[in-house]
Amino acid sequence: MGFVEGLRCRECSRSYPATALHVCDYCFGPLEVAYDYKAVAGSMSRSSIAAGPSTIWRYADLLPVSSTSPVDLGAGFTPLVRADRLAAELGLGELYVKDDTRNPTGSFKDRVVSVALTKARELGFKVAACASTGNLANSVAAHAARAGMDSYVFIPSNLERVKIQTTAVFGGKLVAVDGNYDDVNRLCAELASEHPDWAFVNVNVRPYYSEGSKTLAFEVAEQLGWEVPDHVVVPIASGSQLTKIHKGFHELTTLGLVEGGDSVRISGAQADGCSPVATAFADGSDVVRPVRPDTIAKSLAIGNPADGWYALDVVRSTGGVVGSVTDAEIVEGMRLLARTEGIFAETAGGVTIATLAKLAASGVVRRDERVVAYITGTGLKTVEALGDQVGPSATIAPTLAAFAAIEQEGHQS
Ligand SMILES: *Cc1c(COP(=O)(O)O)cnc(C)c1O
Ligand SMILES: [Zn+2]
């Protein structure tokens, strides 16, 4: 473990030590973790990975920490499910679902938080903090509890009730802010400068946090027998996850663990009610204009995405697209995935499936491609999005006659 060279500015390439820094002093560009890939190549092989734990930590050589005892609730190495029934409905061929509903707190955020808090602990932080659209709140509160750290979690006050309760139960400080995520995020940027002794996972330790998303690429390649997909579909909030999936496939290619990682097409998915990246893509624009979110996909409701431009750049350079879907289509997408594959995803998963359906219908995602859809969170936290669209098939008296009556009706209709 421990092949980090330091941090590097994504804009001007200036180098910085691997401490709690996130923007370049010279050009205000975002900082990114740089590795000594020659040294990684000497340590990491397909067999060394296979001998590792069934978590993200099997890829520790490509994660920005040196600790051999990570803050770990078991995030990662989630199933890659061959989705033939869904493929048939969508007119696709070889389709997989990366089922990240199966993480410790039910979303892919456990990957990034496990990495962020491991690094934070190494840097001597005793307090973990974040601005969250919901899933990050769950994950930071849970991992902080696991690490014995205090936590301060800031959320928009209109979050799904379940996400509030399933965060509060871990016992840290949970502060509901009257405002949307972008208001919460602005407050947290101010708090972060007042409290340099707090590790804000998506502010001052963001470069480390975001590296955790690379494991979404590593796992898919390993689970495909060290091959890469042709096309992946990824939901976009801040855009961090999408850019790091791209970096993950690139790193595997650099290390010679796969071939063709740089030609994976990467497409993004957003909700119409918060689609700044999809709008920029459709307009052929380089500018991601902030919007005021209004969608049931609250986990994706970031109106001013920090990595929006970089996500757009990845999509364009890999030959993908960014699509967007309505709230009604999101619920349809959730129901389609549940009905065809037995996987209950949250609204963000509905965004991904509904966008995939559109891209398949328009021929952008092709039948001859090997496709992976990233399903990033569990439906149990966003049950309210289903409203009364689903419910009992019938409600009857406890008698055979009553059951026979509805069976009869069923046959007639
Ligand atoms: C946070 C989140 C995303 C998007 O992550 P970004 O890296 O901010 O783009 C996607 N799906 C779910 C369920 C999330 O909670
Ligand atoms: Zn710079």
Give per-residue pLDDT as tens, 269-327.
999 999 999 999 999 999 999 999 999 999 999 999 999 999 999 999 999 999 999 99
Residue 280 CA, ligand 1 centroid: distance in Å: 19
Instruction: Give the C-alpha separation, 361 to 408, whole Å.
Output: 38
> In the chain, where are the structural domains located?
80-106+210-386
The predicted model scores a pTM of 0.96
Quote the ligand 2 centre to 34 CA distance (angstroms).
Answer: 14
Report the CATH number of the 80-106+210-386 domain.
3.40.50.1100
pLDDT in tens, 87-100: 999 999 999 999 99
pLDDT in tens, 368-407: 999 999 999 999 999 999 998 999 999 999 999 999 999 9
Nearest-atom number in ligand 1 for the CA of 100 is 13
Averaged pLDDT of the chain: 96
Q: Can you list the pairs that 56-59 forms with residues at least 24 positions away whose Cβ atoms lie under 8 Å?
A: 56/111, 56/114, 56/115, 56/212, 56/215, 57/114, 59/214, 59/215, 59/218
What number does the ligand 1 atom closest to the CA of 109 have?
A: 15
CA distance 322 to 329: 16
The strand pairing partners of 370, in sequence order, are 94
Give yes or no for a contact between 144 and 168, defined as CB atoms under 8 angstroms apart.
Answer: no
> Quick one: 49 exposed, middle or buried, by C-beta within 10 A (0-12, 13-18, 19+)?
middle
Kindly give, in sequence order, each residue whose CB lies less than 8 Å from that of residue 371, ignoring residues fewer than 6 positions away: 92, 93, 94, 95, 96, 229, 230, 231, 232, 233, 356, 365
- Cα-to-centroid distance, 301 and ligand 1 (Å): 9
